[in-house]
Amino acid sequence: MSQTCVEVRSEWSIVAARQAGRTIAKEVGFGSVDQARITTAISELARNIYLYAKVGEICIEKVVEANKVGVKVSASDNGPGIKDLRRVMEDGYTTSGGLGAGLPGVKRLMDEFLIDSKEGEGTKIHAVKWLR
């Protein structure tokens, strides 16, 4: 299955990214709770791009590994980057005033989470949810 990518540059594109994610999550066979989780994670990642980097991209694809299948979400931007990753990944840290959301929230919603960010260069995040 090919990758679906959505360019994020407005609040509308957040909705488009959610929609793309939900469609793939359904196809892969996720139940409604996990669909809602994956979509919420995509939403958070897209919002972060929209709020801090202004422009970026969210890509969603089905992944197959050995005997498991899942959905992989990749977010990338060339924005300001994150200065202190450790702090951003801490619970209770927030710049957008959200409770429980932010990157720690995305990490909780998904099974795998990888972040790579350089100040002044941008941020890349990969998150995977496996079908149980």
Partner 1 sequence: MEKTDVSLQEMYKSILEGYLHTGSEHALYEAQQFSRQLIKENMTPEEMVNLHVVVARELIPDLPSEVLEANDFLLEVMVGYGLAYREHQSLRDRQQQLESELAVAAQMQQELLPKRIPKSPVLDIGIKTVAADVVSGDYYHFIEDGNDHIGIAVADIIGKGVPAALSMSMIKYAIDSLPEQRLQPSALLENLNRVVEQNISSNMFITMIYGSYDLKEHKFQYSGAGHEPGFYYNHSSRQFVDLNTKGLVLGVMKKAVFKEYEQKLSPGDLIILLSDGVTECRAESGFIERSELTEIIRKYEHLSAQEIVENVYSELEQFQNFQLQDDFTLMILRREV
Footprint of partner 1 (CB under 8 A): 31-33, 36-37, 39-40, 91-92, 99-101, 104-105, 108-109, 132
User: How many other CB atoms sit within 10 Å of the CB of residue 122?
Assistant: 18
CB contact set of 47 (below 8 Å; sequence gap of 6+): 14, 96
Nearer to partner 1, 18 or 72 (CB): 18
Distances (CA, A) of 130 to 56, 58, 67, 69, 86: 25, 18, 11, 6, 25
| Least distance (Å) between residue 54 CB and partner 1 | 24
Nearest residue (CB) to partner 1, 1 versus 51: 51
Least separation in angstroms between residue 120's CB and partner 1 is: 29
